[in-house]
Each structure stands twice: as structure tokens, then as C-alpha cells.
């Protein structure tokens, strides 16, 4: 069906191929190219239509927004047209942001004004709320981290949206895609937006917005940047409670009472952030979106908790952590040990796929599907630097997902591997790219460095393991026994042996001096996702998509134990450097931590239940700090969590 744009037409439906309206004779194609199909929405001053662009070969969908010229106060229709053109220029500029629908065209035709914008395919948050019920705390964290940067962007262009609500936030391709980190929320409908120049902010304007979501000052015609923050806060509590804002505000108390209507309790940090976003007085409310992000993602307890731990374990000004040989607590003491979440690091815009910790246990390096590598202070949680993915402005970075990270033994260099087929070396003193190893044609999924820092092993989709001389950056040798992608590599402390895991369901042990295969470990019935080995190089642990962990005698090649560890595929495994804990992460969103029992071979105490730690979505990567005090995890929920032993 083709829909007539003439607002006076009383029978606007027409055949699919019609060019003029059969009822009123008006042209049906806007600008001779955009065919309206149906009405999406209607207000007092115009309509919104779903349309197709007939000039494009695949005839993509788009959205037509129709506005009728009108006199507003002492502004004439001619001045309104001029303002419309200025608005179109602003929207074209804002549409360059990937989370704002792009302005494709604008017209003044038949005494009306038209904006043609990109069609975002997906449900809005109001629809998702009706379908799936209240949002979780993790969803709200994700929502705020998606949208606050968009608000910062539009505010930097002196634009106030003025109509933020669930209906104007779209989830491209649906909830499941967003939850997996494959999409970001999009802010739509800038029809109520206001250009916030100094004089415009001072002048009382039109009262506009959606009832229940409008900030008090906006309801009085004096919208400002903080008004959008207020509306976003109202949106969040509506999504958390599934109640209309009118039901969450107490007139008698003149205050929001949303906390008592939560289906599930949320953390104090997020609740306090929302309360400040909802503060009636603008002087007490967040003034900028960046300030909200800083409070939302800060780790207030991490530094103080680490300091308390440091003070409690120190014996003298020069004391150090006990060595493995002098500090092996009893099995009972290990069972009492717990791991507490110290905070979450947020900053990646895609699933976190790689984690490494510096030899001095001070830095975290994280890699993501967003193609970036980030450096964090392990103790404070501060983001120190971001190595951007390859773009027009940054040519040195990776152009695809980061799969593996490793620090050099001296801590001066970070090495990264990516699906783009490259291995890059980053100088941490100057925070610049040092070099890129020659490509070998396949995405690289695993790397390992020798203790002396001279040898690098890399493996990827072709199943081969490549050995590199890092001084000359020349290929020394390649090992070819695996028949599928390499998933993990470990070089022994003496630099003489290499362990490799593969999607071909095997783990293999190699002699690096002779490049000979020493042993193969078979037993998993699905791909091996990761491996870990004890510090004495006697016990091997492998994780698999078959949902199990297997513990092996590395010398004899025998399987010692099988753990039915998780409900879903196990994606990663790690052993603490002091050999006291085994941790595994899974697509079931959990991390399970077992105490290990010291004997001739490390093993799990009988009937010992693991401690369960949680992310919002699948856990992709795990790493213990070299001092064994911290466990760091990366997840598809785009967060990095820091856990400290207590």
C-alpha cells in the first residue's frame, strides 16, 4: 500500500505502484523517490511514516517525518521554515553518530516540511518491557553506558533532546542481539529537540515532552542539558519496575518512591546514581552525562579494600607476600577462603575477549570485540589508556576482535593477537605501537611468550603453531599436528616445553628445542577451549565445550579427574600462581572457584563444592594476578570484574 501525504486527504490508501493519489490527486512519492507505506505515529503538528527509497536498488526502509508550518508565538511561518532548515542541518550533523538515526534528506513540499531518516530495525524499550517484563540491574547498567555517551555527544553540539523515554530508545535487531553485545541502543525522534544557545536557554520556550518523563524545569519551558539526564533516569526506574512514572512519584512526599517497587533489589551504587539523576533541583542533579558515567563506573571500594588487605598482611615495612613454599594454608583454611567482587570496569563497547595482568600485578590489559585494547590500574580501577582499533584516524590498531594478550616478562611490552591475522607489540612506556609481526593468513587466537622474552608462540585458525624470534621478528619454525583452530598456548618456566589446545578436541605437549611432539591428551568430546598448568609443570587442567574440566597427570599423560563443572560450554580456566585455586568460566555466566589440595599431584578435595561468582552474560576469559591476590574476569556483558581473595 502507498499512503498519501496530503493531510487533507480523507482516503489516503493507494495501490503499491500508484504515483498519484486516487482520491485527491496529490503526488505520492516524496522528492520523486520516497514512497510512504503506512503511518507509524501522529501528533498535533504532523505524522511519521514508514517508507521505502525507490531510487536504491534494494529499496531500503526509511522514516518520513511530516511537519506542517505553523505560527508559534510571534514566529511567522516564514521564520518557521528557516528554523526547519537550521534543524535539518543540526540533525544531519548529529546523524553522523552511530547511535543516532542518520538524516537522509529533507524537503519543503506542498506547504509542509519533511525529514527523511534512517529506519532502525528493532523494537523500542517500551515494547521489550511489555514483552519480557522488568529490566535487570545489568540491563540498566548497559543501557546507561550505551546512552550517556550519546547524550554527551548531542549536548556537545548544543542540542537538548527533550523527549527521552522508552519509546524513543530502539534496540537494533532485538534484545538477544543487544544482550550478547552485538549491538548498541539507538536514540531516535529528535522532533522535540532544542538548539541550546545561550539566549535560547535563558528564554522560556514551548512546553514539550512526554508526561511523566519531563524534568520540572522543562515543564516550565526552561529545558537544559540536565533535563535529558532527568528523563533518562525516569526511563530507567520505569524499566526496572514496569510501573508508569506517575505511579512512582509521591505527591504527598514530593519525591520519587521507586525503590519500594523494585522486583529485585539493585546495588547501592546504581541506586544512588539514579536518585541523583532524578533530583528535582538542577543544582543538585548531575549537570553532564560524563559525570553520570564517572559515578556509575567508578570503583570506590577497590583501592581502600586493597589497602586494608595490604596492611593486614604486612609484618614489617619491607615484608613481602609469603612464597608458595612457606604459605600453604590447610585444606580447612582454603575452604574458608572467599573471593569478593571489588568492582567492575566498564569502557569496552563489545564483549571482553582477552585479559592479561602485568608481572608486577599492577596493570590489567583487556581486549574486546570492539577492536580496542585498554590498560587499567588493577588497584584503583582507573582507565589509563586505550589503544584504538584501526580507523581513518588510527591506522596502527587491530581491525578485528582481540583474541589474546600477554605482557613481556619485564612488563615493558604488551603483545596482542587478533582475528585480523596480526600480532602487535606495544611499547608501554610511550603507549605506542612498537611493531607488527608478519601476517600468516589466518586469524590468531592464542599467543604465549617464553620466560626470557625472546620466543613467541602464536596459533590460529589453520591449526598451526608458529614460533617467532622476538629480537629479529623472524619465523623460526611451525608445528603442525592440530587439525583445527588453536585455542590456547602455554610455555613452561624453563622455556623448553609448549602446551597447546585446539578445537580438534586435543591438548598436545611439545619439545621446543627439537620441535617434536611429546604427547597428546585426548578425552574431551567437544572443542578444548582453554588450558592451565600448575607451577611445577606436573598437573594440567583443560576446559571444553563439552561442559567439563579434565585434570591430567602431565608427566604420564593420564587423566586424573573429570569435573562436570557448568551447565553450558566452559570457555576458560585458570590456576592461581600459588597453586591454591582453580577457576573456570562458562557461557552459563558463572565463574566457579575450587580450592586445590596439595599432594604429589594437585587435586580437588573430595566433595568440595566450588564458590560461584557471576557475570550478567557468558564469561570469556579469566586471569589470576601473579601475586595470586586477585582474579580478573572478562565477559560478553562488556565488563571486567575484579575479585579479591578475602
Give the residue numbers annotated as catalytic, written as ranges. Answer: 163
CA–CA separation, 237 and 211 (whole Å)? 15
100 DSSP assignment:
B
Instruction: Measure CA of the first residue to CA of the last residue in the chain; give whole Å.
Output: 66
Give the phi and the psi of residue 145 in degrees, each rounded to 5: -70, -25
Helices (runs of H) and strands (runs of E) counted in the chain = 12, 41
SS3 sequence of 280-329: CCCCCCCCCHHHHHHHHHCCCCHHHHHHHHHHHHCCCCCCCCCCCCCCCC
CA–CA separation, 593 and 581 (whole Å)? 7
CB 387 within 8 A of CB 373: yes
CA–CA separation, 290 and 568 (whole Å)? 37
CA–CA separation, 257 and 255 (whole Å)? 6
CA–CA separation, 159 and 223 (whole Å)? 11
CA–CA separation, 180 and 503 (whole Å)? 22
Query: How many angstroms separate the Cα of 55 from the Cα of each of 4, 20, 48, 105, 118?
Result: 19, 17, 21, 13, 15
Give the start-end residues of each E strand in 44-83. Answer: 46-53, 61-67
Tell me the CB-side half-sphere exposure of residue 514, using CA atoms within 13 A.
6
Taken in order 509, 515, 518, 523, is the CA torsion positive or negative? Answer: positive
Give the start-end residues of each E strand in 89-198. Answer: 103-109, 112-118, 159-160, 169-170, 186-187, 194-195
CB 202 within 8 A of CB 156: no
CA–CA separation, 638 and 617 (whole Å)? 9
CA–CA separation, 165 and 167 (whole Å)? 6
Amino acid at each position: 500500500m502507498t499512503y498519501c501525504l496530503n493531510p487533507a486527504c480523507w482516503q489516503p490508501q493507494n495501490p503499491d505502484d500508484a504515483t498519484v493519489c486516487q482520491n485527491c490527486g496529490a503526488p505520492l512519492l516524496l522528492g520523486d523517490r520516497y514512497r510512504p507505506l503506512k503511518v507509524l505515529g501522529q501528533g498535533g503538528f504532523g505524522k511519521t511514516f514508514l517508507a521505502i527509497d525507490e531510487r536504491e536498488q534494494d529499496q531500503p526502509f526509511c522514516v518520513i517525518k511530516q511537519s506542517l508550518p505553523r505560527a508559534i508565538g510571534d514566529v511567522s511561518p516564514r521564520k518557521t521554515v528557516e528554523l526547519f532548515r537550521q534543524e535539518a542541518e543540526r540533525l544531519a550533523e548529529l546523524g553522523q553518530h552511530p547511535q543516532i538515526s542518520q538524516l537522509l534528506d529533507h524537503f519543503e513540499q506542498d506547504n509542509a516540511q519533511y525529514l527523511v531518516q534512517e529506519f532502525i530495525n528493532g523494537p523500542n524499550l517500551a515494547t521489550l518491557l511489555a514483552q519480557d517484563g522488568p529490566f535487570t540491574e545489568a540491563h540498566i547498567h548497559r543501557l546507561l553506558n550505551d546512552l550517556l555517551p550519546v547524550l554527551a555527544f548531542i549536548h556537545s553540539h548544543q542540542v537538548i533532546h527533550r523527549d527521552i523515554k522508552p519509546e524513543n530508545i530502539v534496540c537494533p535487531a532485538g534484545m538477544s542481539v543487544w544482550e550478547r553485545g552485538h549491538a548498541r541502543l539507538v536514540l531516535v525522534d529528535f522532533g522535540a529537540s532544542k538548539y541550546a544557545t545561550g539566549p535560547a536557554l535563558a528564554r522560556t520556550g514551548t512546553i514539550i515532552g512526554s508526561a511523566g518523563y519531563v524534568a520540572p524545569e522543562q515543564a516550565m519551558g526552561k529545558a537544559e542539558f540536565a533535563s535529558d539526564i532527568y528523563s533518562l533516569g525516569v526511563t530507567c526506574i520505569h524499566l526496572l519496575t514496569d510501573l508508569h512514572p506517575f505511579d512512582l512519584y509521591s505527591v504527598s512526599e514530593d519525591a520519587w518512591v521507586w525503590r519500594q517497587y523494585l522486583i529485585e533489589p539493585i546495588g547501592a551504587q546504581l541506586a544512588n546514581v539514579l536518585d541523583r539523576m532524578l533530583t528535582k533541583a538542577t543544582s543538585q542533579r548531575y549537570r553532564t552525562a560524563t559525570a553520570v558515567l564517572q559515578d556509575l563506573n567508578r570503583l570506590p571500594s577497590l583501592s581502600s579494600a586493597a589497602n586494608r588487605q595490604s596492611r593486614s598482611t604486612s609484618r614489617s615495612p619491607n615484608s613481602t607476600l609469603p612464597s608458595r613454599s612457606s604459605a600453604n594454608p590447610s585444606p580447612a583454611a582454603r575452604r574458608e577462603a572467599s573471593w569478593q567482587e571489588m568492582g567492575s570496569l566498564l569502557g569496552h563497547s563489545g564483549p571482553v575477549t582477552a585479559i592479561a595482568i602485568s608481572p608486577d600485578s599492577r596493570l590489567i590489559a583487556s581486549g574486546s570485540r570492539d577492536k580496542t585494547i585498554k590498560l587499567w590500574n588493577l588497584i584503583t580501577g582507573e582507565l589509563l589508556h586505550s589503544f584504538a582499533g584501526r580507523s581513518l584516524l588510527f591506522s596502527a590498531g587491530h581491525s578485528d576482535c582481540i583474541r589474546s594478550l600477554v605482557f613481556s616478562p619485564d612488563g615493558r611490552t604488551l603483545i596482542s593477537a587478533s582475528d585480523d591475522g596480526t600480532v602487535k607489540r606495544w611499547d608501554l612506556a610511550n603507549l605506542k605501537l612498537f611493531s607488527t609481526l608478519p601476517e600468516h593468513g589466518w586469524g590468531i587466537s592464542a599467543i604465549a611468550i617464553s620466560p626470557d622474552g625472546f620466543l613467541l608462540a602464536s596459533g590460529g585458525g589453520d591449526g598451526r603453531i608458529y614460533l617467532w624470534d622476538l629480537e629479529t621478528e623472524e619465523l623460526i619454525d611451525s608445528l603442525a599436528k592440530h587439525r583445527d583452530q588453536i585455542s590456547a598456548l602455554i610455555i613452561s618456566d624453563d622455556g623448553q616445553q609448549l602446551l597447546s589446545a585446539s578445537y580438534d578436541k586435543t591438548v598436545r605437549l611439545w619439545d621446543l628445542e627439537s620441535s617434536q611432539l611429546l604427547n597428546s591428551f585426548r578425552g574431551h568430546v567437544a572443542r578444548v577451549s582453554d588450558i592451565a598448568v600448575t607451577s611445577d609443570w606436573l598437573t594440567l587442567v583443560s576446559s571444553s565445550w563439552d561442559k567439563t574440566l579434565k585434570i591430567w597427570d602431565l608427566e604420564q599423560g593420564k587423566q586424573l579427574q573429570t569435573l562436570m563443572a557448568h551447565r553450558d560450554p566452559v570457555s576458560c580456566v585458570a590456576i592461581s600462581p600459588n597453586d591454591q585455586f582453580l577457576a573456570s568460566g562458562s557461557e552459563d555466566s558463572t565463574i566457579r572457584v575450587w580450592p586445590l589440595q596439595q599432594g604429589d599431584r594437585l587435586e580437588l578435595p573430595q566433595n568440595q563444592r566450588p564458590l560461584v561468582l557471576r557475570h550478567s552474560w557468558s564469561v570469556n576469559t579469566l586471569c589470576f594476578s601473579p601475586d595470586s591476590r586477585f582474579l580478573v574476569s572478562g565477559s560478553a556483558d562488556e565488563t571486567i570484574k575484579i575479585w579479591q581473595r578475602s
